Structure 1
Amino acid sequence: MTAATTTAVTTAEPAARFRDLLAAEWLKLWSLRSTVWAYAIGALVVVGFNVGATYDRYRYWSAHNAADRASFVSDGIALMYAYTTNAGTLMMLAAGAIGAAAITGEYGTGLIRTTFAAVPARRSVMAAKVCVLTTVMTGYGAVVAALSFWLSQAILARRDAGVSLSDPGSLRVVVASTLLAPVCGLVGMALGTLLRHGAAATVTVVVVLLVVPLVFADDRHWAAVIDHALPSSAWMRLVDTRYGSGIGLPYPWTEGGAWTVFALWALGAAAVAVLAVHRRDQ
């Protein structure tokens, strides 16, 4: 008597390559029409604020006395119109909300479960999301910063008050304003990964990036330490000419310190986004 034996041959699916994950996340990012509108409207509003403030100064140029007009360029005031504080605030809000939506949208629809079922290596998936978001937000920030600088200085040039990219401080302003977008976008993604809810993540982005800096003024040492550790304050240190000399500031700080804060927030937010999903119920 012979027994029939059946040998099952199982062919394992090849593991997803990281470049495949990058391609998948790129497609996800641009699969929704709302993504394009969010970037477009955000850019128009930010550039519009900068251009509007610059044109207001151009229009009422003759209302300032000769001494103020003469010191406009020498004191670096022209650079403050290249990317105004209001525009920076709007960019932080927009970038943070976009970063949060990049992950909370998947949690809201349940797509994240399908993604992790197809690719069990959760940290690799999140690393791909971080890479794609960082790349897109950096390019986005560069376009907005370059347009703002070019348009604002072109308007001021009609009063012989504009500066060029080669002038001292100009490149720093453009680079810092460019990096504001990816830093805040990564903060938004990290908060979205932790909270997994769109509205909660957006509100927390507003609190962390916009409200907390209002609480900790830099008039006392302990408050200044906290204030200088925030991304919004780091950006202000890099673009606001008042900080250059430290005149009138009780606790001035260096450009290197501001760049370090930028880097630590970006790296920390990326690490949170990648590591928070490991062994966590989705």
Structure 2
Amino acid sequence: MSVLNAERIKLTSTKSPIWCSLIALVVSVGMAAVFGIFLKSMISSGDLLISELTASDTQLGAVNFGAMLVMIMSVLAVTTEYRFGVIRTTFLAVPHRAQIIASKALLLAIVAAVLGSVIAVLSYYVAQATSGVTVDLGARDNARELFGVPIYFTLLAVLAVGVGTLVRQSAGAISLLLLWPLVIESLLTLIPRVGKYVGEFGPFNNMSYFLGNQGPIDFRWGPWGGLLYFTAFVAIVFGASLFLVNKRDA
């Protein structure tokens, strides 16, 4: 408990988590508002006929931009300590290094879950208010797509802590986390003939499937299988970080 409290103090005493959270909130909800306004103009002009939105439509800002900020926030919580040598002092005070990393992951996962919940709910209502089109949570997979956002944010926080611990350098860890879903998995999906088969094994592709964005990939498992796949990927990466943090010098 003392380790958890110490990590809480360090987390709340730095500015990056606050700024990342605020930017994620403002931009994600702002994108929902812009989407709603654009949709309303399309409907008013007669270019689009639509009577109902899906929950995933309202969460475009959250799953694209907000998710990136969560990863950056979580990475910096680890790599900043490596950069300034603070982690060495922490490891001297608490020899069980894995306990420190696990405490960081737990705290950041809680922050990410709360942030994801707030962003998801606000985006949900703002998109409806600005577009004039409603979302029926009881229809189709809307409830899963809405409440899947805080689950996604929680898993991203744990993943980012793991990657930050493995890489130990801010630019490298952030680049890897951002380029993996945006470039690597996207490019693999575009490979002729084999892309659709390779794409279904991409961790972020599976999470997108769970959140209602299947794309051109035909998954062999359902959306909940996609969540389990991504969760397993996060567990492997984070488990590797806990193992290696005890093997390497600080």
TM-score (norm 1): 0.79
Shift of 1:219: 7.4
Structure 1 partner of 2:239: 271
Q: Which moved more, 1:47-56 or 1:251-260?
A: 251-260
Q: Which moved more, 1:109-118 or 1:142-151?
A: 142-151
Shift of 1:198: 0.9
Structure 2 partner of 1:223: 195
Structure 1 partner of 2:100: 125
Structure 2 partner of 1:31: 13
1:148 to 97, 120, 123: 123
Structure 1 partner of 2:170: 198
Give 5+ residue unaligned stretches, structure 2: none
Q: Deviations over 1:41-66 (max 9, x none)?
A: 1111111112211111012312236x
Structure 2 partner of 1:83: 59
Do the aligned residues in 2 keep the contact of 1:93 with 1:206 (CA within 8 Å)?
A: yes
Q: Deviations over 1:211-240 (max 9, x none)?
A: 112112177674334322334312321333
Give yes or no for the alignment of 1:20 onto 2:26.
Answer: no
Q: Which moved more, 1:20-29 or 1:182-191?
A: 182-191
Q: Following TM superposition, where does structure 1 have runs of at least 4 consecutive aligned residues deviating by more than 4 angstroms?
A: 218-222
Which has more radius of gyration? Answer: 1
1:69 to 8, 33, 49: 49
Task: Indicate how the Cα distance of structure 1 residues 225 and 125 shifts in structure 2: closer, same or farther if over 3 A, else same.
Answer: farther
Q: Deviations over 1:162-219 (max 9, x none)?
A: 0143333221111222222122222222221111111111111122232112112177
Structure 2 partner of 1:134: 109
Task: Indicate how the Cα distance of structure 1 residues 207 and 63 shifts in structure 2: closer, same or farther if over 3 A, else same.
Answer: same
Give yes or no for the alignment of 1:165 onto 2:133.
Answer: no
Structure 1 distance, partners of 2:7, 2:241, is 15
Task: Indicate how the Cα distance of structure 1 residues 47 and 279 shifts in structure 2: closer, same or farther if over 3 A, else same.
Answer: same
SS of 1:168's partner is coil
Give 5+ residue unaligned stretches, structure 1: 1-18, 244-248
Structure 1 distance, partners of 2:162, 2:102, is 12
Do the aligned residues in 2 keep the contact of 1:153 with 1:163 (CA within 8 Å)?
A: yes
Could you say what the CA RMSD is over the residues aligned between the two structures, in angstroms? Answer: 2.3
Structure 2 partner of 1:97: 72
Do the aligned residues in 1 keep the contact of 2:113 with 2:153 (CA within 8 Å)?
A: yes
Structure 2 distance, partners of 1:169, 1:131, is 29
Give yes or no for the alignment of 1:110 onto 2:79.
Answer: no
Structure 1 distance, partners of 2:183, 2:196, is 15
SS of 2:135's partner is coil
SS of 1:60's partner is helix
* Percent sequence identity over aligned pairs: 22
Shift of 1:116: 0.5
Equivalent residue letter for 2:218: Y
Task: Indicate how the Cα distance of structure 1 residues 181 and 174 shifts in structure 2: closer, same or farther if over 3 A, else same.
Answer: same
Structure 1 partner of 2:218: 251
Structure 2 partner of 1:262: 230
Shift of 1:83: 0.9
Structure 2 distance, partners of 1:224, 1:185, is 28
Structure 2 distance, partners of 1:181, 1:279, is 29
Do the aligned residues in 2 keep the contact of 1:89 with 1:210 (CA within 8 Å)?
A: no
SS of 2:248's partner is coil
Task: Indicate how the Cα distance of structure 1 residues 135 and 225 shifts in structure 2: closer, same or farther if over 3 A, else same.
Answer: farther
1:41 to 1, 14, 23: 23
Q: Deviations over 1:69-91 (max 9, x none)?
A: 25x42xxx44342112x542212
